DNA sequence: GTTTTTGATTGATATATGTCAATTTTGCAT
DNA sequence: ATGCAAAATTGACATATATCAATCAAAAAC
């Protein structure tokens, strides 16, 4: 394990990497978080949180990128979303059973703060605005899963793959050209198909000039066409 | 429209039909609910709440049965769950955008209380135990959607249909014999397949003696076999 | 009671998708 | 650089699934 505790723990006070959610905390509350957090660095490929384990902490991703996925049937995975810096990871376990219901794995070297769950809940109880914003965040995540459910079950493979690529564009990189941090396997898990099918669809997209894949880089060449494929399913 | 206001509005106080969630309210809070609710009866087939509309109220289903579904792509639906009496319907819209993100339709004659959303939120803010229980409920719903996402994308049709039937058994009727309130279309929407495919799978199940379908009644004859089909996907 | 409409059923067919096995490429460690 | 292991690719094939068109049954409307 190459996880290690940060040698020089910064204070949460004024930390630019803390999820924006925490901007609603008072100085006192932030100090409480500070005193009950652990800051850990992960290398690409390492598991940050494992589905099924006890939820002792909630997470704030300070830097890096990670995939958040449900471990499904017989070694198959469903990626719910890609986690980008300055975002909070909680999940339905916070209030249901204090367990993690997904696994989070670093895609590139990432830095994460682990905040004590009990302290977090305590602050939620005491700070109304914070609680509302937290719930809004959580609800947005839930809606994203609704959308995922619909498009994964009601579109065919090209539409699903187009959605996956456009998701990376719209939500994660905000530019049509981005590093290929997701393997074909990951893209398959993101669009609910087999690896081989993912490869074939991507090849088709490339042949038709919709995308370009060079070493470690993906470029969405014809965004409009991809959006059309997404629309017609 | 055959919806009509109840002639003799009962008080929420002591109402046996109100979702158990509300048992955590004080007398005062319950009176507040009482003063800001409307009680409406629906006939089978009627729409109780329509996706996309403004969420002015949250719902408590007092009696009857309803299907709760997302309207997806080009007239296709994804049933998230069947709503049985004494259950609460809110959804991610409460904290996200005050909109309904699913449609609820009565499967049989049903009676529903509409509780003013602002009042509901006010009570949530003031009653910690109630808020926690509400969040636990909501989280359970979210987990059910996670499960649904996995089984709908990672199992094939027989497994999905077996899951749908076992869901009706386990969660809704709690007995292997139950009225066929869901059309084949509904069962298809519940297991993410076409009507025709649903018909065929059900015919196969019947041929193999796993289920029995007589007029308006469904019986799960060989539960173990269905569970096995569910398991192997 | 008859007509009309809706839902259920069926089989034939086309398409989508997964699986398998073989091959190539790539990344990594020596 | 060299070799090894993992990932990506490919095409052939089998299977799963949707679609279509036609028929049948049942419920609702007249």
pLDDT digits over B95-124, tens only?
999 999 999 999 999 999 999 999 999 999
Q: Does B128 touch chain A (CB under 8 A)?
A: yes
Is the shortest CB-to-strand distance from A203 to strand D under 7 Å? Answer: yes
pLDDT at residue A10, rounded to an integer: 65
Which residues in chain A touch residue B21, judged by CB atoms under 8 angstroms apart?
none
Which residues in chain B touch residue A96, judged by CB atoms under 8 angstroms apart?
136, 139-140, 143
Closest by CA to A160, choosing from A233, A211, A67, A210, is A233
Q: Does B199 touch chain A (CB under 8 A)?
A: no
Instruction: Give the nucleotide nearest to A184 (CA→C1').
Output: D8
Average pLDDT, whole number, for chain A? 90
A145 and B146 in contact by Cβ < 8 A?
yes
Average pLDDT, whole number, for chain B? 90
For residue A5, pLDDT beyond 70? no
Report pLDDT digits (tens) over A155-190.
999 999 999 999 999 999 999 999 989 999 999 999
C-beta separation of B6 from B12 below 8 A: no
pLDDT at residue B55, rounded to an integer: 96
Q: Does B142 touch chain A (CB under 8 A)?
A: yes
**Which positions of strand C lie within 7 Å of protein CB atoms?**
7-12, 16-21, 26-27
Rounded CA-CA distance A152/A233 in Å is: 10
Rounded CA-CA distance B206/B69 in Å is: 27
Protein footprint of strand C, defined by Cβ closer than 7 Å to any strand atom: A 156-158, 192-194, 196-197, 215-216; B 183-185, 195-196, 199-200, 202-203, 213
Stretch A4-31: mean pLDDT: 74
Report pLDDT digits (tens) over B144-188.
999 999 999 999 999 999 999 999 999 999 999 999 899 999 999
Spatial CB neighbours of A18, under 8 Å, sequence gap ≥ 6: A12, A60, A62, A86, A113
Least confident of A26-30, A94-98, A191-195: A26-30
Q: Which residues make beta-bridge pairs with B100?
A: none
pLDDT at residue B10, rounded to an integer: 65
> What global pTM score does this model have?
0.92
pLDDT at residue B11, rounded to an integer: 76
| Minimum-distance CB partner of A153 among B93, B140, B192 | B192
| Minimum-distance CB partner of A150 among B78, B93, B96 | B78
Query: DSSP H helical segments within B64-127, as ranges?
Result: 93-96, 117-126
Torsion (CA) B112, B115, B117, B123 in degrees, nearest 10:
-130
Distance from A39 to chain B by nearest Cα, in Å?
Answer: 27
Query: Does residue A16 sit in helix, strand or coil?
Result: coil
For residue B53, pLDDT beyond 60? yes
B96 and A72 in contact by Cβ < 8 A?
no
Nearest residue of A to residue B140 by CA position? A96
Looking at per-residue pLDDT, the higher value among B210 and B10 belongs to B210
For residue A27, pLDDT beyond 60? yes
For residue A7, pLDDT beyond 80? no
Instruction: Give the nucleotide nearest to B215 (CA→C1').
Output: D26
Rounded CA-CA distance A141/B142 in Å is: 10
Is the shortest CB-to-strand distance from B192 to strand D under 7 Å? Answer: yes
Q: Does A67 touch chain B (CB under 8 A)?
A: no
Q: Does A138 touch chain B (CB under 8 A)?
A: yes
C-beta separation of B104 from B223 below 8 A: no
Nearest residue of B to residue A71 by CA position? B150
């Amino acid at each position: 394990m190459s996880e290690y505790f940060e040698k020089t723990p910064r204070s949460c006070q004024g930390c630019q990497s803390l999820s924006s959610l925490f901007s609603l905390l008072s100085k006192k509350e932030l100090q409480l978080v500070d005193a009950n957090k652990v800051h850990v660095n992960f290398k690409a490929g390492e598991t940050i949180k494992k589905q099924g384990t006890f939820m002792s902490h909630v997470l704030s991703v300070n830097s890096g990128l990670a995939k958040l996925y449900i471990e499904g049937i017989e070694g198959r995975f469903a990626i719910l979303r890609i986690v980008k810096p300055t975002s909070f990871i909680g999940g339905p376990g916070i209030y249901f059973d204090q367990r993690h219901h997904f696994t989070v794995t670093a895609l590139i070297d990432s830095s994460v703060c682990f905040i004590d769950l009990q302290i977090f809940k305590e602050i939620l109880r005491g700070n109304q605005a914070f609680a509302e914003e937290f719930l809004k965040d959580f609800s947005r995540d839930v809606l994203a899963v609704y959308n995922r459910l619909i498009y994964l079950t009601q579109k065919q493979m090209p539409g699903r793959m187009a959605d996956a690529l456009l998701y990376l564009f719209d939500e994660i990189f905000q530019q049509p050209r981005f590093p290929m941090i997701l393997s074909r396997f990951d893209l398959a898990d993101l669009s609910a198909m087999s690896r081989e099918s993912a490869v074939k669809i991507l090849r088709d997209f490339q042949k038709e000039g919709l995308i370009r894949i060079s070493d470690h880089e993906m470029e969405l060449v014809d965004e409009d066409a991809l959006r059309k494929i997404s629309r017609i399913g």
